[in-house]
Amino acid sequence: MSSKAFSARPLGVGMVYLPGLEALAERLAPDCDLFEVEPQAFWRNRPADSGRPHAAAYDIGVDKLAALQALGKPLLVHSVGSPVAGSNGLEPGQINGLRQTMAMLRPQWWSDHASFSSVGNGNARRGVGFLMPPLQSADSVEMIVGHIKQLQDAIGLPFAFETGVNYFAPQPGELPDGEFWGAIADRADCGILLDLHNIWTNACNGRSSVLSVLNALPLERVWEIHLANGQEHKGYWLDSHSGLPPDALFEILEAALPRLPSLRAILFEIIPEYIDANAIPENALRAMFARVKGLWRDSGAPAAPHWPSSRGSSEREERFLNAEGSPAGWEAAICRGIERHRSGANPDTADPAFEIYYDLIHMARRGSIVDALPLTARYLWMLYGEAGIEALFGEYFAITAPQPFMADEARSFATFVDAQCPDAPYLADVAAFEFAAQRAASSGECQTIAFGCDPGLLLAAIKSGETPGAIAPETVELEVRPPEPVAA
């Protein structure tokens, strides 16, 4: 689908739609022109038919997506499961899930990341645990262009790739950030999702300056902008989606808008738990949407920008990966470096960004488990406290590789803690209940499970924040029903 044929209408300003943001999105709908869903966050993994191994790998969560449609706003899809920069290519099961999602939501265009998130092929394919940056070389450009064209053919909708975060120091001989992304967009004839916080984060951490990136990009290909905020961590600025955009990002947005003739949407990204953790009031979100709309409405001739300066790579010790000159070699070097951190071996020759990526993988895996098993996590917290549950996570991450899907990670963790926590008498029952609820939601069918005690007493105690006391043992069958269908 050629970007030259791209004629989508302007959609306006909106926000991402994730599990945990549903109620907020409904309240903010009058202030949002559109929503953008990360679809895989609502998918459920399910075994494929043995004769059609990729036909039904995922249930796309029709009920959740129907609730999004009920808001009555234009929708975009921002995939996180088919990044285009992996040397192992695209996962067929993801493509089928995306086709179903697109058929239901009918976005004008969709996007994914110029990153990689897995290594290996077939049964040996495994997740890395985070979206990782590719080697910025001519070979990578060719490989990524090929993957984008495959997606354009497979999905049949205009496609844009996101300009990503890269915490590694610049590599000798690599293409600068803007030139790398510009070459991909031109050769693939696709759109660009310009994540302004990502390129600002890169500049803050010693990579290309914001101005050099924008000057190198084919800005007529920018269809969409992402805004976010981050936080400091061990001397790096992280793209953590943790708050309202900083004033520096509004300066960049104001200066960039007049240079973006094809811009159709601006989206704000935030992780749900940061809304409460950072006490972000809804009125502040409404004011932010109004401010962005005003800047876009009033954008005219480019103003003299006050670009934040990059700290420059000279302020960081330059330690380089042995990338072996190929995309696959780069991926292998990254996996080796992360594995060294996972095993506790941190040689002095490793780029210090490995520690950052290890921490990010840890946080992402922890978030997946807590999101999938909130009652189980709460029960463990009540028994062992914050330090105790963090120790369990640390032990689990040290001996297991990241799982490719949230449900797989949760099930693996549940098996681990069941063996590690003999003094948690109701742990298996609580986890079994949560998995049954997920199956019921995915299949639309009731699930029957056996409890070793009165489930009403047990679950009520945990939900109210009380550590369950002694409950008389008995075998009780519980029918777990799917959620009520969304009204049309």
State pLDDT tens for residues 69-96: 999 999 999 999 999 999 999 988 899 9
| pLDDT for the residue 310 | 37
Q: Is pLDDT larger for residue 53 or for residue 120?
A: 120
User: In degrees rounded to 5, what are phi and psi of residue 450?
Assistant: -105, 130
State pLDDT tens for residues 408-422: 788 899 999 999 999
**Helix (H, G, I), strand (E, B), or coil: what is residue 130?**
strand
User: In degrees rounded to 5, what are phi and psi of residue 111?
Assistant: -145, 160
Torsion of CA 182, 184, 190, 196, to 10 degrees: -50
Q: Tell me: pLDDT of 303 over 60.
A: no
State pLDDT tens for residues 153-175: 999 999 999 999 999 999 888 99
Kindly state which CATH superfamily the domain 3-298 is placed in. Answer: Divalent-metal-dependent TIM barrel enzymes (3.20.20.150)
**Helix (H, G, I), strand (E, B), or coil: what is residue 225?**
strand
| pLDDT for the residue 6 | 61
Helices and strands, counts by H and E, the chain: 16, 16
Confidence of residue 347 (pLDDT cuts 50, 70, 90): low
Q: Considering only 144-148, 215-219, 334-338, which range has the smallest mean pLDDT?
A: 334-338
The most confident of the ranges 3-12, 55-64, 309-318, 387-396 is: 387-396
State pLDDT tens for residues 378-410: 999 999 999 999 999 989 988 888 876 677 788
Contacts of 385 by beta carbon, 8 Å cutoff, 6+ apart: none
Contact call for residues 25 and 17 (beta carbons, < 8 A): yes
Q: Which residues of 92-127 are buried (b: 16+ CB within 10 A; e: fewer)?
A: ebbbbbbebbbebbebbbbbbbbbbbbbeeeeeeeb
CA dist 132 and 181 (Å) reads 15
Domain boundaries, the chain: 3-298, 372-480
Q: What contacts 24+ positions apart, CB below 8 Å, involve 286-294?
A: 286/28, 286/31, 288/244, 288/245, 289/13, 289/14, 289/15, 289/28, 289/31, 289/32, 290/31, 291/250, 292/13, 292/227, 292/253, 292/266, 292/268, 293/12, 293/13
**Helix (H, G, I), strand (E, B), or coil: what is residue 320?**
coil
Confidence of residue 345 (pLDDT cuts 50, 70, 90): low
CA angle 202, 204, 207 (to 5 degrees): 45
Q: Tell me: pLDDT of 101 over 60.
A: yes
Confidence of residue 331 (pLDDT cuts 50, 70, 90): very high
CA dist 51 and 365 (Å) reads 32
Residue appearing with tokens 């010790």: 317
Q: Tell me: pLDDT of 427 over 60.
A: yes
pTM of the predicted structure, to 2 decimals: 0.85
Q: Read off the DSSP letter of residue 52.
A: B
- Nearest Cα neighbor of 145 from 323, 307, 327, 317 is 327
- In the chain, what percentage of residues exceed pLDDT 90? 64
Paired with 36 in beta bridges are: 16, 76
Q: Which residues of 402-435 are buried (b: 16+ CB within 10 A; e: fewer)?
A: bbbbbbebbbbbbebbeeebeebbbbbbbbbbbb
Contact call for residues 372 and 441 (beta carbons, < 8 A): no
Q: Tell me: pLDDT of 205 over 80.
A: yes
CA dist 361 and 384 (Å) reads 23
Confidence of residue 321 (pLDDT cuts 50, 70, 90): very low
State pLDDT tens for residues 355-372: 999 899 998 899 889 888
Confidence of residue 304 (pLDDT cuts 50, 70, 90): very low
Q: Read off the DSSP letter of residue 8.
A: P
Q: Tell me: pLDDT of 351 over 80.
A: yes
Which two three-digit tokens encode residue 387? Answer: 């330090």
